[in-house]
Amino acid sequence: VKERGKNDFMIYDQTMEQQSLERRILENALRQGIKEEQFYIEYQPKMNMSTNELIGMEALVRWKHPDLGVISPGKFIPLAEETGLIVPLGEWILRESCKQALAWRDEGYPPLILSVNISVRQLEDVHFVEKVQTILHETRLDTKWLELEVTESVLANDKSTISILKELQNLGIHISVDDFGTGYSSLSYLKELPINTLKIDQSFIKDIHTNKASNEIAKAIINLAHSIGLNVIAEGIELKEHVDELSKDGCILGQGYYYSRPLKVGAFEDYMTNIHEA
Ligand code: C2E
Ligand code: CA
Ligand code: CA
Ligand code: CA
């Protein structure tokens, strides 16, 4: 009995160990991946839905692991955030996408706003503003073509992240609140905060044409944004019905599979070319 009890304990212990081992392996792989630049960026079109014009693009990172293949950000961004590796990775993403935006400009594509996702951990880095300035300087991208997407949770509590966002906005960078409507923060922060755009979370868009509550929430966000002078954009647009519903409610900016999935560089170039000719 004693033997057995000990074994049981060891099995339990092994499982725990196994988990932290897997985590450590993934963490090391991530570290290695950053060193070896195993990442690339896809760009998803942002549209003016009433004119069908391309207005911008969101940079979305992908990890191409040499053995495991392409890993989605949902799998590694949380770990990158927990371990702090999002700081060097996020810096790479910003530099890479700014470089690309300027390359497209130099190649004669129409000017577009580049949106880049920023994690809380990056805003907590005391050198963040400096890093952004360095990257913009290196890549010669004008601040007015850069937008940073931060989640509502970033804005909810911390005074210092807010002052960092203010500094960024003073430089001419746009700030967008991602996944708007899913956070738990009070709305009062909206009046003090350096925000340009609210991005309606895709969970409300998915059934906006069939669910009264989702529709009312989306409408409320659109009206709220407009009444306090902010832009509003919807994400996760998959159907014509989503476009129609949003247009009816006064939201003209949108992004989603209905227009395009996130695209690799070459495919995004084709998209820019074709929409131009259309
Ligand atoms: P997010 O910032 O809310 O990005 C939107 C996600 O929805 C993306 O998933 C995008 O591919 C997906 N999406 C776009 N249109 C549609 C649609 O019509 N229908 C559906 N069902 N999905 C759509 P992705 O690329 O897998 O990224 C997931 C999350 O990972 C992002 O959510 C963001 O939080 C994070 N992430 C991605 N790239 C970065 C990055 O470069 N930096 C940071 N910090 N986070 C990133
Ligand atoms: Ca986003
Ligand atoms: Ca989002
Ligand atoms: Ca999200």
DSSP string covering 80-138: HHHHSTHHHHHHHHHHHHHHHHHHHHHTTPPP-EEEEE--HHHHHSTTHHHHHHHHHHH
Q: Which ligand is nearest to the CA of 201?
A: 3
Q: Which of 117-126, 185-194, 204-213 has the lowest mean pLDDT?
A: 185-194
Tell me, using a 6 A CB cutoff, whether residue 257 lines ligand 1: yes
Q: Which ligand is nearest to the CA of 149?
A: 2
Res 12: pLDDT: 57
Report how far ligand 2's centroid is from the alpha carbon of 71 (Å): 17
Please tell me the pTM assigned to this model. 0.93
Tell me, using a 6 A CB cutoff, whether residue 60 lines ligand 1: yes
Tell me, using a 6 A CB cutoff, whether residue 74 lines ligand 1: yes
Residue 8 has pLDDT above 60, yes or no: no
Q: Cα separation of 3 and 13, whole Å?
A: 15
Tell me, using a 6 A CB cutoff, whether residue 178 lines ligand 1: yes
* Coil vs helix vs strand at 16: helix
Looking at the CA of residue 81, tell me the nearest atom of ligand 1: 44
Report how far ligand 2's centroid is from the alpha carbon of 15 (Å): 35
On whether ipTM exceeds 0.90, the answer is yes
Tell me, using a 6 A CB cutoff, whether residue 117 lines ligand 1: yes
- With the CA atoms of 158, 95, 231 and 81 taken in that order, what torsion angle do they form, in degrees rounded to the nearest 10? -40
Strands 231-235 and 113-117: unpaired
Looking at the CA of residue 59, tell me the nearest atom of ligand 1: 41
Number of Cβ within 10 Å of residue 263's Cβ equals: 18
Question: What distance lies between CA 41 and its chain's CA centroid?
Answer: 12
Residue 227 has pLDDT above 70, yes or no: yes
Report how far ligand 4's centroid is from the alpha carbon of 142 (Å): 27
Res 11: pLDDT: 57
Report how far ligand 3's centroid is from the alpha carbon of 112 (Å): 19
Residue 1 has pLDDT above 50, yes or no: no
Of 195, 210, 201, 221, which Cα lies nearest the Cα of 245? 210
Report how far ligand 4's centroid is from the alpha carbon of 150 (Å): 10
Question: Which distant-in-sequence residues (6+ apart) come within 8 Å of 193 by Cβ?
Answer: 155, 162, 165
Looking at the CA of residue 73, tell me the nearest atom of ligand 1: 30
Of 116, 120, 98, 96, which Cα lies nearest the Cα of 37? 96
- The percent of the chain in helix, strand and coil, each rounded to the nearest 5, is 55, 20, 25
| Mean pLDDT value of segment 9-20 | 69
H helical segments located in 152-264 = 152-156, 159-170, 189-192, 202-206, 212-227, 240-249
Report how far ligand 3's centroid is from the alpha carbon of 168 (Å): 20
Tens-place pLDDT, residues 101-141: 999 999 999 999 999 999 999 999 999 999 999 999 999 99
Would you say the C-alpha torsion 238, 243, 245, 250 has a positive or negative sign?
Answer: positive
For atom 8 of ligand 1, which residue has the closest CA? 60
Greatest CA separation for the chain: 78
Q: How many percent of the chain have pLDDT more than 70? A: 92
For atom 17 of ligand 1, which residue has the closest CA? 236
Strands 231-235 and 197-200: parallel
Tens-place pLDDT, residues 152-185: 877 766 778 888 999 999 999 999 999 998 886 6
Q: Cα separation of 226 and 69, whole Å?
A: 43
* Coil vs helix vs strand at 274: helix
Q: Cα separation of 111 and 162, whole Å?
A: 29
In a mutational test of the pocket of ligand 1, which residue from 39, 44, 49, 60 has the highest number of ligand atoms less than 8 Å from its CB?
60
